[in-house]
Every structure is written in C-alpha cells, then in structure tokens.
Structure 1
Amino acid sequence: MLLASSAWAQSSADAAKLDTVTVEAAAIADSAVGPDSTIVAERTATGSKTDTDLLDLSSSVSVVTEEEMRTRNVQNLEQALSYTAGVTVDQYASDDRYDYFMIRGFNATSLGTYRDGMSRRTVNFTGGKLEPYGLQRIDVLKGSTSTLFGLNAPGGMVNAITKRPLDYEFGEIYTTLGNEHTETGADFGGPIDQAGKWSYRVTTKWQDAELSADHTQDDRFYFAPAVTYKPNDATSLTLLADFNKRDTNAAHSIPRGSGIDPDTFLGEPGYNDMDRIERNIGYLFEHQFGSGLTFRQNARYTHMDLDYDHVYLSDPDPANGRTAFVVDGERDQYTIDNQLQYDTDIDSVGSRTLAGFDYTHDDVHETSLYGTAGGIDIYDPQYCGEACVDLARQPDFRQKQASQGFYLQQELTFAERWILTLGGRYDDVNTQTADDEADDYAFTKRVGLTYKALDDLSLYTNYAESFQPPTSRNLVSGSADPQEGEQYEVGMKYRPANTNALFTLAVFDLTQTNVASQVGENLYRQIGKVNVRGIELESKLALSDRLNLTAAYSYWDSEIEEDGLAGNQGNRPSLVPEHIASVWADYTIAGNMNRGDVTLGLGTRFVGGTYIDDANSEKTSSYTLVDAVASYALTPSLDLAVNATNLFDREYVSYIDTFSNSSYYGDGRSVLTTLRYHW
C-alpha cells in the first residue's frame, strides 16, 4: 500500500507538469464466458447453463481467468488449476499423458473435462490434452453436476472456454525461451466489416520443448481460427475450429528406493511416444425471440489420431525385464447441446426455466501390440531398441457409445432475496464393445436454495446427484454398473461492495457407490462405496490494478465405507490428500517517466501426503512447491517476463506403482522467459 501511494504521488506530480494526453482503449466487458478484466470473475454460464451471477448460484464455482493464466504463464491444464480450492492436480507426477486432476477427492480425468459446455472424454487410451493458450477462461463447477451435464464424476467438472472473436481490434505476438524450450505464438482479431456484424480471431502456437526428465518432449502446434456473425443484438453464430498436434512422451518412473537420479530414463527412446493429432470444428448459436424466450445450440465434431509407444517398468527388479506396449488409436466424437430458456415474472416471483436435450456419439477404435522388453541396468542404462522388444498383436478395442439426456431446470426468485433451483435429468446411454452391449439409464435430481442476506453476501445449500457409467468397460472385471453419487452442501459467498474481490466457503458431504478400484495391472473392479466430507475456502482479490491475490484451502475427510477387499473398509482412498493449500500474490509497481511497470509475483502450493493404495500400506510425503514471476514493461506495448515453477527444484514423489514398486517424481524446476508485443 505504501508503494502504491508513493507511485500515485509520483504520477500526480508528473501529471501537473505535462500536457493532458487522452488515451482511448477498448474496455473488456466481463461476461459469463469471459474474457474477464481481472482475476476476479463475476458471472458464469457453467453453474446453471444460464448467464448467472456467482453470488446467485446454489453451488460452488471457481474461475481461472485469462489474466491469471497469462501472469503465471501456465503450460498445461494442471498448472492452470493448481491454485484452485477443491482441486488437486498432478497426482501421477511424471506421467504427463493426460490432464490429471481430482475434484473433492474424486478422479475427474476421464469424464470431468468439458470444452464450451460439451464433453471431451478420454476413452481407454484415446484422449487429448487442452492447449491453455487457446482458452479465455476455465470454470470449475464443484459437486455433483449430472442434472445438467449428464455422465460425470461426483466431485465436479472443468469447463474450458475457447477464445472467441471480440468486437474490437486486438492482438499479440510472443516468444518464450527456456532450457530446452522454444515457443512462439500469436493471438489477434477484431471486426471484419464496418457495421461490426462480422468479427474474427486467430490463435496459434508452436513449441519445441523437453520436460525435466531425459528423453522427454513436449512439442506442439496449435492453430485455431474463429468467426462470429452477429446480424443484430438478438442473434449470434460463432464458428470455432482448431488443429492441435502434440508430440509428447509416455510415463516414466524409477525403482522405489533405488537412489538413482529421478530423471534417469529406463524405457526405450524408440518406444516413448504419446503423439496426438486432434481436429475440432463446431459452432455456438444463440437467438433471442423476445418476451424472455431464448434458444441456444452448441455443437462440435472431433477427430483424433493417437500413436502411443511405451516400454515401462513392470517388475520390481528391472534387470528381469520390462513390458512393451504399442497403441494406434482413432476416434470420432459428435456432440450437440440444445437449450431453450424462458424468463418471466409470475406475480412477484421471478421465473427462469431451462429445458434442454444433448446428444454425444463416441466411436473409438484401437489396435494394440503387447509384449516384453529386455532387462536394463538401472545404474548404467544401455538401450537396445527394437532388438530386445517382442510384441504380439492383441484383440482390437472398439467401443461405440451414444448418450442422450433430457434436462429441465427451474429457478424461482422470491422477494429478490430467495432463489430456489430445481433440476432433473434423464440419461440414456448405449455402449457397444466387440463382445458386449449395455444400456444404462438414470434420473438425477438437484435442489438448491440461495439466500441473498445482503446485496454482497449470499448463503446457499444444495442436494445433487451424479451418474457415471464406465468409460472403458473392458477394464472393469465382473459387472460394470454405473457409479452413482449424492452430495449435500452448504456455503457462503461474499463480494465486498466497491471492491473487486470474492470470498467463498463451502462445506460438503459426498458419497459415491460402485466405485472402481485397481486390482491388477490395467484391471479394475467395482467394489465399494466412498465418502468424502470436506471444507473449501477460496479468496480472489484484484485491488487498485496493482495487487492480485489468490488463496485457497481444502480439507478432505475421505473414507472407504464399503469394500469387497478384506481389510480396506474404513481406510482412506489412495491418492486423496487430507489437506491442500495455496497462495499466490503479484504486485505491480507503477512506472514513471524513466521506467515502465514492474510486476513481482510469488506463489506456494502445499499438497498433503497420500496413501499409495487402498490398503493404506504406505504413505507418500507431503510437499510444498514455490512458483514466481517477474515482469517489466519495456514499452507500453512490449513486456518481458520471467516465470519459474518449482523454483527451488523440490524433489518429490506423487505416486508409487505398487505392482512394479516404482516411484513417479514430479517435474523439476522450469524457468521460462517471455517477450510479448501486444496491441
């Protein structure tokens, strides 16, 4: 505050000596989908599929805005979510194949990632990773969400919002350099015609990089054009397309207790690929008929090609041999969501009705080879290539899944203080595999109540249910029934008047049945019932265009209440920490006649220890990581920033594979320097 006062006094003195200069800039109007003007969002379209103030929702939603992602220079979805309450990321450490995250103690990796409100599931091995540079915001809806979104894990979901055309001209070009890391990108757009009916946006990124371990890579090419046609204030159509090519690597580990460098590579360089090409094309359509009636239709088609080669540790003694695996995957997914919204007043009661129908068709075909690779000396690795790899063709994996859902939501506002939300949804899911066909049905319900105690303070409570059929039925031993969940939650949200800040508190009790637990290598069995009770605290502040602060804390009391394996009942589920906490703050020292703005930021993330298995045989240690940023405005349009993750190069284990007795270490220190020109 003293620094801000000093800078303000200096600026005032300079202003008295200089002529008045008028600067015109396009202001960012905060919306339910972004972009947001600060790190603090006010509205969301994820919590209820309608444009709603966060204070009015009877559920917990955290928002990671584009400004927050840019300040921390996030490289993947896990980094973007790492300062969010109720979310833990990177639980598999050096396994970077997918975007791994848990919400409220439940794994949400396979089903819990959405883009523009539409599912982007991972089926078997064929699944993608989001490119953060292509996003203008990330919403995290916590708790059971099936009444609106259908097939989902009970802990919640992540909805990534794609960058879209804006109604003013803008742009940036940047270059990022680091140790074995070269990256460049551009993002620009604006109106096409003078009337402003047409606008466009182009976002692109190229990257040639390595991760911290030997023989790893993170190469990318992303290209996303978008066009919006808005003939009038009542109608808009946005066409979105992207090409996302990622050449990455399979997971790697080292034998537990070996004492060797965690960066040591014990696979085969020629069998270490996780390469994907993902193509998306879709649209977002909205038309307002008037008199409170609005229709929306969002759709997307995805085609993905996967090339996955892996030699990994499968024996406690790698000298005895390793396992080899090759997968060639292809996937086609169609998804569409239709929404009809009607807003009206009935006497003194405000009414908002939402009726919808969505449909997703997923067709995945994988051919695979499985076999062995020769042993390796972990202290002096000598790679043998194809000479020591023996593979045999496996039965093809083929799964077609068609899911359709009908949902209805009613919001009633009484006396401008009480908001009652009622929701229900019926899902019908047909899954066909090479030797089986199954139909799963579910009706899920939700009841929520919000009380606006003050204009800037709301209290809420909700009950919600979840429905989660298996994404890959071939991995489940025995019956493959849908996992079902229910949640009770109470909370509070506070947005101080005349302050750009939001404070939230949530207390929940969440239970899921038919939980799948790992009982063998790549084999799971639905054996039980898991309960998680927890508390979440989160605060976001953006003060005086100088100070940004994010703080989050989560406590999870998790328990296996029923279990088909002797001795596990009453234990804590594996990989679920008891405490997670984080704090990030950045402060901008205003420039003067001699220099530009200087921004300094520091963050710390704490993750409590977790059990390595449901038997609670051993626990990994907790760890604390530190991130930092320093940036300098060379000119009003040119910035230089240095970002560091895991600043002190903390060495830590997130995951231990009990079947191979292998340890998975987190990524080491990364320092990236970015030069960005914007207009």
Structure 2
Amino acid sequence: MQRCNSFGNSFRIKTIPLMVALVLPALAAAQETRGETTLSAVRVSERVMGEKTEGSGSYTTGKTKTATPLSLSPRDTPQSVSVMTQQRIEDQGLLNITDVVNNVTGVSVNQYETHRAQFHARGFDINTLMVDGVPTTWDQQWSSGEIMTGLAIYDRVEVVRGSTGLTTGAGDPSAAINLVRKRASSKELTGTLQLGYGSWNEMRGMLDAATPVNEAKTLRARIVGEYVERGSWVDNLENKNQTVLATFEADLTPNTLLSAGISRQENSPRGSMWGGLPVWYSDGSKANWDRSKTTAADWTRWDSTYENYFATLEHRFANNWKVKASYSHGDRKADSYLLYLYGTPDRTTGLGLFSWPGSYQVHTQQEDFGLQANGPFALFGRMHELALGYTYAYQRFTANSRAASTFGSVGNFNAWNGKNFPEPSWGAPTYYGKGETRQEALFAAARINVADPLKVILGSRLTRYEKSGDDASTSSYAIKINDQLTPYAGIIYDLNDNLSLYASYTDIFQPQQRRDISGKFLDPVIGKSTEGGVKGEFFGGRLNASLAVFRIAQENLAQSTGQTIPGTTPPETAYRASKGATSDGYELELAGELIPDWNVSAGYTHFKAKDAKGADVNSIYPRELLKLFTTYRLPGALNALTVGGGVNWQGATYTFVGGEKFEQKAYALVNLMTRYDFSKQLSAQLNVNNLFDKTYYGMFDAYNQYTYGAPRNATLTLKYRF
C-alpha cells in the first residue's frame, strides 16, 4: 500500500503541466520527423480518421459530436473528450458499459451491489446514457440493467466531461456518455465470429455479419448477436446476457439515406446481491470478509430487458447542407426478487443480522424524435458551419412491488452461504409509484471562422421541461419549467499546425422537487462549467493530446430553512436556493498512435470537490485517477504478435460509517494482453486483469455496507474474420 501512495504522490499539481509543456512540443517535432521518414502517403489515405472507429485500428477518432451538434475533431472541440474506440474495446476485452467507465479517462464507478452502480465524473453523478446521441436517463435506485449494457452492438463510446446541457438537456454537470451503434454501411460481405472462455467458467460467443442485399448494393443489412454466460468470484452469483442488433441502410436516392433497426438485450443474473457486507461487528471492530462472501440467497434474481427501435432519414443537398430526421422508442423492464440483510453481527456467533425480502417490477418507456439541419454558410468572406434543430423526448416510469409472506431468520452469518434461506411466497404486484417526464427543445450551434487561426463556437438550447408523478409513500408532484436557456461558448486558437489553445463555458440544469416557503418549486440547480487548456493533434489526427483546467460550480441548490410550508399536511419543510458544490481540477490525456503499430491511451485526472462551507463532498469519489493502456505489434518476423498492458490507479477515498471513518486507500490494478494472428482471418487473444490480485472495495457507502471488486481473472478469445 505504501508503494501505491508514493506512486500517487509523484503526480503533483506542479508536475503535470510541466510534463505537458515538455511533451506537446516534442510531439510536434516528432510530427515532422515521422511525416518525412515513416508515415507514407499511401498509409494515410488508407486509414483516414472519421467518426466511425471500426476498422481504423486506432485509439482515437477523427470526429465527434457528443459535446455539440456539430461534427468536430477532438482538437476543435473546446471540452474534454475521450473516445473508447472499437480497437480499444477489443484489445481490453471490454464487455459492458461499466467496463468502459472503469477504463476511460476522468470517470469512475461506485459499485453499490452486483447489479447497481453509480457513474461519476469531476465530483458529480452521471445519470444519463446516450444512445446515438439520444439521452436515456435512469434513476440509480430503480436500475433496469443500465450498467450491464453490452458493447457488442456499438462501434464506440464517446465521453464528454463537464456540463453537457446543449446536447443532453437536464442533468448533472459531470459527463455525457454516448454509445454509438454499429451501422450497416458495408458494400461487401464482412464479419467476425468470436468465441471466448475465461475465469469462473465464462463463456462468450459473438457473431457480427454485414452484407449488401441487392446487386446494386443500395440496400445493406447487418446482424450482431452476443451470448455471455459466466459465474463470479461472489458465491452463488451467475450471469447470462444476450444481445442482438438487426439493422439496415437503404440508399433511396444518391443523396438520401434511410437507416433503421431494432436491438434487444436481456440480462438474467442469479444470486444477485441487494446491499453489501456489514462493515462492523457488534463489538465495534471492523469485519474482514472473504471476497466471495455474499448476502444473497441462491434464489435471488434481477432480470432486465431493453428493447430499442430506431429509424433515421438523411438527405444531403447540393450545397452540402444536410437534413436529418430521427425517431427511437426504448422499452426497459426489470423484475427482481431480492434479499436485503442489515445489522451488525456478533464476531463469534455471527448473530445479529435481519432480513428484508423485496420484489419489484419496473417499466420505463421512452419516445424520442429529432429534426436537425446542418451545413456551411458564407459570411464576411469566410465559410462557417451551422447546426440547428428540434428534439422531443417523453419518458414514462412505473413501479410495482410484491409483498413477501415471511421474513426468515438469518442465524449465524459467519456460516451463511445463501443456500438455506427459503424463498418466501410473494403476493400479487401492487402499485408503488409512477412518473412522467417531457422535454422539448430548440437548439442551435455555430462554428465561426473568425480568422485562419481563430474559431469561435456559439450555441444555445431552449428547453421546456415537465415532470410529474407520485409514489406509495409521498404525495404527488408536478414540476414545469418553461424556456430554460442553456448557453454554450467556446474559442479555439491554433498556435501552429499541431497545437491549439481553447476555452469554453457551458451549463446544465437539474430540476429539484423542493419548495420554498410560499409553496413554489425552487428553480433548477444550475451546473456551470468553465474549462480551458491546450490540445494537440499529430500524425494526421492519429494521435490526440490535451491538458485541461476546469471549474464546475452549482447554483440554486436546495437548503433547508428550518421552517414549515403553511397549510401542508403532513408538514413539509421549506427550502431556499443557495450555493452548492464546486469542483476544481485539471486533466491530461494522450490517445492514439505514437508510432506505427504502437497504440496508447493515457489519462490523469486531479480535482477537489467542496460544498459551500468548504467541506469535501462525495468523498467516496476518487479525486485522482490514472487510466493507462497500450499495445504494440512487434516488427519483422514477430509481426504476428501484439503485446499490451496497462494500469488503472486511483487515489484514496473515504466515508463515515456509524460515525467512524472508513477508508479505501490508493490502489492500482495492472492488466495485460497478448494477441497472436495465425492468419489475416484467425487470431487468439489472452487478457489478464488485476494481475497482482489486488484486494479493493467496489462499494462502501450504502447503509454501512461494502462489496469487493474483482480479483485476478483471465479470458482467452478466438476471433475469425470473414
């Protein structure tokens, strides 16, 4: 542990900017050398960087539009942007969105249980996952399998940190995570077949096939299917995941493209934990359970499904303007039968825990429609770019519960294995709660070419927001926000062909269900993000680097007045708007190809998050993060062999459990991979995660409980391309 702490101490605030000051000019110099000696014109033309990362072999991308509706390179985007490309997903053997968050720069996971978690960035929660740019929000306590979202059907995952209200609407000033689907764009038969086997009897099969349907190749189709079955280091826990995507593209005219499809994911875990392990024994000493220990019974389960129907119609005009209309329908369901254990056990007898069985049905439906136009325009003798559009989103949430017939005795928890606790009889589903949310917005963004080295991005979103609902224990509520304005402003100044300075301001709003003394709902919490730094683009866009300094400040956060709203029954506390949390920090990232066949992704984040009184907020979220992964394809006679590895390191975190400080010390997880290409079609890959079998916590801030992260594990994958 001392080694980890000394490792973290080497990354100090004064050191990182100095490193960047030295590294970025060196990369700029290397750009010239590489361009003259090793990077041939043929190689550049064969691997042009665009939005799609599939087939690029890269750890970066040429274009992204998660931060704004404009299609911009990472260098031209005045916010911190990371992209988990298809090559990186394959190299690390990542299976779901939680794997991505654990490995991408600047974001991390607080794993509440085996099937619920909270994502966060820069000290704030992330409650929105975007799919092809469409925000899908979820309430963590009513998880419907969001954190288990598989990656087989996605080309890449884009992550923009800071406030993202221009593209996501309501939310927290943390980050936007955008999963971008694979497309049926291939005009020849292509595909892959993968088979994998790993620790805890993990078995995986994946088929991805794309083909033209007609002779003219104006109609194309793609099918992706994945099946994963695996056990766990946690006793009794088993997971089964099935994912399928069927999509097509049709060239209605040379300039008109119709694309549509359907995707479905099913998660069927058994032995799911609800809550975690007790932190303390009844004598006040800290418990030290085995990593395989569970609080679940062998009958617990947390099934979930997610179906998504989507269609897009695009038309490109002769003047290079493009109009796109899109529609999507999402349907999430979760059905759980769970067991919660609580209390503090006796160290010797194991007695002292109590049980609470619970069963819930959750159903969320979402409809989204979008219309967008974008293209170039001339002004004052220069060409600029404009994007404008309209979005409508409707979400309906319902929850039912089932009453348990009995609450069995836990007995000696020291001997608990989850196999001798009978499943109760469950009553019929009864109403528990519901909610409806509507967002309607107009937006516009322009990239103004002020001078050859100077670009300005201006944008705005005008949102109308309505939310209503109730639950079994509280009165109903209805929030309506008219014409919430979300501004966006950014500036980029090119120092030379490779380096740019940038700065930006944007914000995001989050409605709150708190009333003032007059009974009126408080205005939304506003998360204001300011960011600036330097970005670099090298080797034809195949390597991107950035240094960012950021500040996030909340305004209008509800604070109790200690008074009661007159006439409310039962009495309801009155609140007032106040200053909220602030987050200040910096971030360094390098992603792409250093030399041919050497890919690297490295990111370091450091921030402080304080409330209005200067106290730490969300202290369980790590203030320091290092995410590093690299691969190298050997030259010459060993060219069939690729080797790689990386480290995920995070600084110390803490919380208070029962009045006592409970700390997770800094730790590092080391991961390795190697791949051998038997031919152009067939390869074998071995991934080893947590090489040194580090013991660490997955969660330690819910109801005086904690869980463990995964011990050392390995996976072997065979891949065949056709």
TM normalised by structure 2 equals: 0.82
For structure 2, the residue ranges without an aligned partner over 5 or more in a row are 1-42, 280-285, 346-350, 471-475, 560-572
* 2:97 alignment partner, one of 74, 77, 84: 77
Q: 1:219 to 1:470 in 2, by over 3 A?
A: farther
For structure 1, the residue ranges without an aligned partner over 5 or more in a row are 1-23, 518-523, 563-568
Q: Which residue of 1 aligns with 2:360?
A: 327
| Aligned ranges 1:198-237 → 2 under 5 Å | 198-237=219-258
- The farther-off stretch of 31-40 and 486-495 is 31-40
| Aligned ranges 1:77-476 → 2 under 5 Å | 77-89=97-109, 91-92=110-111, 95-98=113-116, 100-108=118-126, 110-111=127-128, 113-123=129-139, 125-129=142-146, 130-168=149-187, 169-179=189-199, 180-248=201-269, 249-251=272-274, 253-256=276-279, 257-270=286-299, 272-317=300-345, 319-369=352-402, 372-381=407-416, 383-386=419-422, 395-434=431-470, 435-441=476-482, 442-469=484-511
- The farther-off stretch of 203-212 and 388-397 is 388-397
- Residue deviations 1:123-142, cap 9 Å, x none? 45153332111111111111
Are positions 1:619 and 2:663 aligned together?
yes
Q: What is the alpha-carbon distance in structure 2 between the residues aligned to residue 253 and residue 618 of structure 1? A: 15
**Kept after mapping to 2: 8 A contact 1:571/1:616:** no
Q: What is the alpha-carbon distance in structure 2 between the residues aligned to residue 611 and residue 56 of structure 1? A: 37
Q: What is the alpha-carbon distance in structure 2 between the residues aligned to residue 235 and residue 146 of structure 1? A: 30
**Kept after mapping to 1: 8 A contact 2:600/2:631:** yes
| Aligned ranges 1:483-522 → 2 under 5 Å | 483-497=525-539, 500-513=542-555
Q: What is the alpha-carbon distance in structure 2 between the residues aligned to residue 577 and residue 637 of structure 1? A: 42
Q: What is the alpha-carbon distance in structure 1 between the residues aligned to residue 541 and residue 63 of structure 2? A: 16
* 1:635 alignment partner, one of 664, 679, 686: 679
- Please tell me the residue identity of whatever aligns with 2:64: T
Q: What is the alpha-carbon distance in structure 2 between the residues aligned to residue 472 and residue 243 of structure 1? A: 37
Q: What is the alpha-carbon distance in structure 1 between the residues aligned to residue 363 and residue 621 of structure 2? A: 32
- The farther-off stretch of 146-155 and 122-131 is 122-131
| Pairwise CA distance, 1:27 | 5.3
| Pairwise CA distance, 1:578 | 1.8
Q: 1:482 to 1:384 in 2, by over 3 A?
A: farther
Q: 1:344 to 1:499 in 2, by over 3 A?
A: closer
- Please tell me the residue identity of whatever aligns with 1:462: S
Q: What is the alpha-carbon distance in structure 2 between the residues aligned to residue 340 and residue 499 of structure 1? A: 26
**Kept after mapping to 2: 8 A contact 1:613/1:658:** no
**Kept after mapping to 2: 8 A contact 1:348/1:414:** no
Q: 1:387 to 1:158 in 2, by over 3 A?
A: closer
- Residue deviations 1:310-341, cap 9 Å, x none? 21232233733122221112221111221122
3-state SS of paired residue (1:314): strand
TM normalised by structure 1 equals: 0.87
3-state SS of paired residue (2:343): coil
- Residue deviations 1:425-466, cap 9 Å, x none? 121121121322221342111111111121221111011111
Q: 1:313 to 1:385 in 2, by over 3 A?
A: closer
- Please tell me the residue identity of whatever aligns with 1:259: N
| Pairwise CA distance, 1:627 | 0.9
- The farther-off stretch of 172-181 and 340-349 is 340-349
3-state SS of paired residue (2:495): strand
- Residue deviations 1:396-443, cap 9 Å, x none? 211111111111212211222211111111211211213222213421
Q: Which residue of 1 aligns with 2:4?
A: none
- Please tell me the residue identity of whatever aligns with 2:524: P
Q: 1:183 to 1:143 in 2, by over 3 A?
A: same
Are positions 1:546 and 2:597 aligned together?
yes
Count of aligned residue pairs for this structure pair: 634
Q: What is the alpha-carbon distance in structure 1 between the residues aligned to residue 469 and residue 409 of structure 2? A: 33
Q: Which residue of 1 aligns with 2:563?
A: none
- Please tell me the residue identity of whatever aligns with 1:120: T
- The farther-off stretch of 233-242 and 462-471 is 462-471
Q: What is the alpha-carbon distance in structure 2 between the residues aligned to residue 585 and residue 553 of structure 1? A: 15
- Please tell me the residue identity of whatever aligns with 2:278: P
- The farther-off stretch of 368-377 and 537-546 is 368-377
Q: What is the alpha-carbon distance in structure 1 between the residues aligned to residue 277 and residue 521 of structure 2? A: 34
| Pairwise CA distance, 1:106 | 1.1
Q: What is the alpha-carbon distance in structure 2 between the residues aligned to residue 470 and residue 356 of structure 1? A: 27
- Please tell me the residue identity of whatever aligns with 2:87: E
3-state SS of paired residue (2:268): strand
Are positions 1:666 and 2:686 aligned together?
no
Are positions 1:610 and 2:653 aligned together?
yes
**Kept after mapping to 1: 8 A contact 2:230/2:240:** yes
**Kept after mapping to 1: 8 A contact 2:274/2:296:** no
RMSD: 3.0
